[in-house]
Amino acid sequence: MTTTDLQSQLEDVAQSLVMFDRNCALAELGSVRDRLRILAEDLRTFGHDAIAVAAESAAAIAAGCVAEGRFTETVVEVLSQAIDGLQESLGDMGFEPPAAAAPESAAEPAAAAPDAEAQDAAPAGLELSSFVDDAIVAEFIGRQGDAIGDVQNMVLGFDADVPDDAVAGLKRWFHTLKGESGLLGLDALAELCHVAEDMIQSESPQACVDRLLEVFDWMQACFDFLAKKGPAPVSTEALLVRLREPAASPSVDVAKADDPVAAETETETEAEIEAESESGAEPDVADEPESGPEPDPEPEPDPEPMADAEAEAVAVELPEVVLPDYTGKNLLEADVGLLQDFIGEATEHLDASEAHLLTIEADPHESEALNAVFRGFHTIKGLAGFAELDAIQELAHKAENLLDMGRKGDLELRGVYMDLVFESVDLMKRLVEGVTVALATTGHQAEVPELSNLVARLILATRKDAVPVPPPAAPPAAKPTPAAPAGKSGFVPLGNLKAKAAPATPAAGKSGFVPLANMKAKAQPASAPASAPAPRPASTAEAAPRPTSTGAAAAAVKVKEAVRVDADRLDRLVETIGELVIAESMVSQNPEVRQNMSVKLAKDLDHLDKISRELQEIGMSLRMVPVRPVFQKMARLVRDLAKKTGRKVDFVMSGEDTELDKNVVDKIGDPLVHMVRNAVDHGLEPTAEERVAAGKSDTGRIELRAYHKGGNICIEVVDDGRGLPRDKILQKAIERGLVREGDQLSDRDIHNLIFEPGFSTAQKVTDISGRGVGMDVVRRNIEELRGTCDISSEPGRGSVFSIKLPLTLAIIEGMVVSCGPEHYIVPTLSVVRLIRPSAADLFKVFDRGEMMTLESEHIPLFRLGQLFGIATAKTDPESAVVVVVEDEGRRIGILADDLLGQQSIVIKSLGQSMQDTDGVAGGAIMSNGNVALILDVAGLARVANHTITSVDAADAAPEQSA
Amino acid sequence: MSTDTLAATLAKPGKYLSFVLGREEYGVEILKVQEIIGIMDVTRVPRTPSFVRGVINLRGRVIPVVDLRGKFKMRAASDTEKTCIIVVQVTQGDLTVTMGVIVDEVSEVLSFQQEQIEAAPAFGGGMDEAEYIIGMGKLGKKVVILLDVDRVLKGDELEAIALTAK
């Protein structure tokens, strides 16, 4: 027998593998096993022991499957890969001794196979090679995961302008990634990179933006999967098809509409999808026709108008509701990270809402709780919209409508209405759970039959009141049993039936195709490293440069080394450093040390001081992270919103390297989403014509910037739209009784009115914004972070929303003042000025309420010593200092003995039992090791008023003149 | 054994840290004690009950310190060299809170058997503080008053007083 004979034998095996059909798979597999065994024996007789071992192990895999009576596509693939390796080795045999290739490529499947069998769900092409070290993978994921963000950002910029080096950089990055993933055995990823490379090569960068974004989404999901943080991503097949075919026109919408794949999506019945999800235990139902990841190009079916019309026509009947098709969407093809964020936040909001609802039930006039529920739903709506969970968005929107009526006092939330709200919360919870389940399994949300019914009832409830019908009339209509929507529930079993009838067919045709495609892709990476010693001509362009390109391209994409550390450990380290610094200053300030200070000791202490200070700075910087990831999310948001609203928007960001405390960065996302939404939806003119008429370019401009300013971080959202409608806001505020007619308000005061809960001048509530919740969310979240927000606006020119945040949550700048023996700290942020008062500026009202004149303004003056009962405090104001502080626009003076200086201090909690002490916000450890108290300005004012009124009869004079 | 209801549970046998307040010796379960430190500068916190001496810096953590003499309505005494802060871990609800208690003097660790512990005597209604006593430990002629430190430093009580002080 010659080598040629062996090769033809192999060919046969390969062919039977390719022809594999699920139905007769086991018999086929048995014959493959037998043939492989024969082959192995033949090889041994010829002395090709190494290859024989490979063939034997392949046979063993096949045998294992036959014995177990089941197999997966992965196994088929692994086998074809092994046979491929054998073919290669046999081919090389004429020129060289059997290379290491065979054993290696065979060892790989041998190791991969049990693995694949163990976790059926591992998608093809994503098993790591067995020789790959975990640490390498972790490093790879960490580095490339970060890089994706940068690259994605670059691609988002393509809409405007494509610099040459950017495209080159993009290609380099894909190329490196391809090389590295090939090395790690992530063939699906490598293939995707390869196709993406081709696409960039052949098409204009602008045309590929959308598809590139999909690619990034998939990669992100893939990295999450590898990092064991997320479920397995779906097959790339559909994505690859779209990458390969050139876009018909640069406009994506048109391209998608022409796309037969997309068209099929629309017509596909639910039943079929259910069939897929029922039968498809593994997510790689390869060319599933409904191509989920593409951002839905069609304007979302808005069921509202239709449903409303129905409701009017049939007054008592439930309106027909057309819900967005949420069961058909494969969530695994969407942005999985985003969805996971959504689940977390939504659950949190729902739990909080439930608690608030119970309060409302007890007291329907509890407006604070109602506002809170409302805000919760609003945020969920926003997030759901962002995550493209249309059904949840829809439900949230309708529930919000009802709550809004309750908030405005149009209807009282009790009885049926209350039940409706509770039901909405429950159903919402189920929907969110559905998303969780979908992510963990097939990617398809389960059908929630009650949904349409509930939405219908919600619409009805809000309708009913618009047409004044006494509320008691509503209950019978609004409370049908959940089983009512027969149309829907009748539909489901049918789908299930079909699914069960034909579980095997969907994948049958494909199984032959997939391995073939993968086999080709795999042949190169598998063999290249093995046959490296041979002077093999660089037949595969992409395989050859791999080792070198890794380094070269790594330099092109910015690489940041990072070690992930447990946050608790980090906190402990920072705390310990703080102690070290204090201990250091205690030693160097010690009088005994100071007395006997030699030059040498002084020098050494200086050195120690320098080091410990440096250490402290490093400690502080450990928690600091750039705001970049949050900004990048915004870039995506603007893009999506612009598409949705049909506006042209230019998004510019700057200062994304500005660093903030990790906690702050985590919490700032929510308010930023609202601010950016607002800027796009309200700030910018609705139509390009309007912009042109106002003498501006037809493309709106939204700018997001971050920068340092005096120990704070400023983040601004700037738009060049219409500006805030000053008169409208004022009029609305008067209507709502927030201000009185004739009140003297500065522009700034008026602009800040929009932060009031429920304040909106929008005539129409859209699903993006308009209810006046967003800005309330912004203010609350920012205040939680001890920041402030502000608006400036110029009619016709645009507005600037700015947030000012402290650098970190743990450290504040404070002024240290003394009062008797005690030291207190006043947060510098609230200090307006410091003055040494002259007797002429001071006067008393009724001999009690002390006042002082500050630039022709009269402010109340409180003595710290008196408030805190410090007997030894100075009594003569002229020898003391007045710290003028501002809180919510009110100024008060605090009389303290002396100013000792300013320093940054670490805030420490006083512990549970003393947390609520009025006038004290916390403690700080001073350089002598003692604790100083941080004054809480707002609380102090309360204490002060209380003290004065309780000492004597009511005396409100100070407040009034303030 | 008395069935007096004032002390809910009788002290368990085991090791107790004994300390002196005035002329009497008291004991707290050793497992509650984290450490003992000498008296140091205590930062007074305004508007808190008088028995709360203030807060101290315990290696970077700010913890409240309670003056046991004040808590038990005993005559105040000035700090001496022997005055100590016993840092204890008390359970408040499901939380463990670190607090300091100021005592005149820390003496020793004592071991009590079951038969050496007697129920707290009944004082009638005149003394609320009796509820903190979980038993009397006897060692020869010496009598040690055993305290339930969790109850002594009950958080809601401190808070309640803090609120009324407003």
CB contact under 8 A, A912 and B95: yes
Q: Are A766 and A681 in contact (CB under 8 A)?
A: yes
Interface of A with B (CB under 8 A): 575-576, 578-579, 582, 822, 867-869, 908-914, 916-920, 922-923, 925, 929-933, 943, 946
pLDDT at A597: 83
Distance from CA of A899 to the nearest CA of B (A): 18
Q: Are A156 and A148 in contact (CB under 8 A)?
A: no
Size of interface A-B (CB pairs under 8 A): 88
The closest CB to that of A923, out of B47, B55, B166, belongs to B55
Which residues are registered as beta bridge partners of A371? Answer: none
Q: How far apart (Å, rounded) are the C-alpha atoms in residues A211 and A294?
A: 8
Identify the CA nearest to B21 among candidates B81, B72, B88: B72
pLDDT at B111: 92
For residue A575, the chain B residue with the least C-alpha distance is B60
Residue keyed to tokens 């028995």: B51
Q: How far apart (Å, rounded) are the C-alpha atoms in residues A840 and A878?
A: 10
C-alpha dihedral sign at A546, A549, A551, A553 = negative
Most confident of A782-786, B37-41, B124-128: B37-41
Distance from CA of A818 to the nearest CA of B (A): 13
For A69, phi then psi, to 5°, come to 80, 15
CB contact under 8 A, B47 and A822: no
CB contact under 8 A, A911 and B158: no
Residue B144 has pLDDT above 90, yes or no: yes
Q: Mean pLDDT throughout B148-164?
A: 64
* C-alpha count within 13 angstroms, C-beta hemisphere, residue A542: 25
For residue A929, the chain B residue with the least C-alpha distance is B57
- Two tokens, residue A714: 């400023």
What dihedral angle (degrees, nearest 10) is formed by the CA atoms of A173, A81, A136, A561? Answer: 10
Fill in the amino acid letter for A268: E
Fill in the amino acid letter for A949: T
Q: Mean pLDDT in chain B?
A: 82
CB contact under 8 A, A946 and B166: yes
Distance from CA of B111 to the nearest CA of A (A): 32
Distance from CA of A433 to the nearest CA of B (A): 29
Distance from CA of A559 to the nearest CA of B (A): 36
CB contact under 8 A, B55 and A910: yes
pLDDT at A286: 39
DSSP state of A444: B
pLDDT at A340: 75
Q: How far apart (Å, rounded) are the C-alpha atoms in residues A459 and A424?
A: 12
The closest CB to that of B62, out of A579, A822, A923, belongs to A923
Give B56-81 as a DSSP string: EEETTEEEEEEEHHHHTTPPP----T
Q: Which chain A positions have a beta carbon within 8 Å of B55's beta carbon?
A: 910-911, 914, 923, 931, 933
The closest CB to that of B159, out of A868, A916, A929, belongs to A916
Q: Which chain A positions have a beta carbon within 8 Å of B97's beta carbon?
A: 911-913
Interface of B with A (CB under 8 A): 41, 43-48, 52, 54-57, 59-64, 92, 95, 97-99, 155, 158-159, 162-163, 166
Distance from CA of B121 to the nearest CA of A (A): 31
The closest CB to that of A917, out of B48, B63, B97, belongs to B48
DSSP state of A320: P
For residue B58, the chain A residue with the least C-alpha distance is A929
CB contact under 8 A, A914 and B48: yes
Low-confidence residues of chain A, pLDDT below 50? Answer: 21-23, 94-123, 248-316, 465-557, 949-962
The closest CB to that of A868, out of B46, B97, B158, belongs to B46
SS3 A17: helix
Residue B112 has pLDDT above 60, yes or no: yes
CB contact under 8 A, B64 and A911: yes
- Two tokens, residue A164: 């040459």
CB contact under 8 A, B63 and A925: no
Give A386-443 as a DSSP string: HTT-HHHHHHHHHHHHHHHHHHHTSS---THHHHHHHHHHHHHHHHHHHHHHHHHTTS
CB contact under 8 A, B159 and A913: yes
Q: Which chain A positions have a beta carbon within 8 Å of B46's beta carbon?
A: 867-869, 917, 919-920, 933
Distance from CA of A578 to the nearest CA of B (A): 7
Identify the CA nearest to A181 among candidates A143, A151, A146, A208: A143
For residue B160, the chain A residue with the least C-alpha distance is A913
Would you give the distance in Å from CA A922 to the centre of its chain?
32
pLDDT tens profile A804-860: 887 666 667 789 999 988 899 998 878 888 999 888 888 887 767 788 888 888 888
For residue B50, the chain A residue with the least C-alpha distance is A869
CB contact under 8 A, A933 and B166: no
Q: How far apart (Å, rounded) are the C-alpha atoms in residues A814 and A834?
A: 13
For residue B93, the chain A residue with the least C-alpha distance is A912
- Two tokens, residue A521: 């892709």
Contacts 24+ apart (CB under 8 A), A215-218: A215/A239, A215/A243, A216/A148, A216/A151, A216/A152, A216/A155, A217/A293, A217/A333, A217/A334, A217/A335, A218/A192, A218/A293, A218/A333
pLDDT tens profile A560-610: 566 777 878 887 888 788 778 777 877 877 788 888 888 999 899 889 988
CB contact under 8 A, A912 and B56: no
Q: In chain B, what's the furthest Cα-to-Cα distance? A: 48
Q: How far apart (Å, rounded) are the C-alpha atoms in residues A205 and A163?
A: 10
The closest CB to that of B60, out of A578, A868, A909, belongs to A578
The closest CB to that of A911, out of B46, B60, B97, belongs to B97
Distance from CA of A616 to the nearest CA of B (A): 14
The closest CB to that of A910, out of B62, B98, B155, belongs to B62
DSSP state of B128: G
Distance from CA of A959 to the nearest CA of B (A): 19
CB contact under 8 A, B60 and A822: no
SS3 A826: strand
CB-based contacts of B130, cutoff 8 Å, min separation 6? B6, B7, B120, B122, B123
- Two tokens, residue B85: 């802060």
Optimal mutation site among A580, A819, A908, A912, interface B, most CBs of chain B within 10 A: A912
Q: Which chain A positions have a beta carbon within 8 Å of B99's beta carbon?
A: 911, 913
Distance from CA of A603 to the nearest CA of B (A): 27
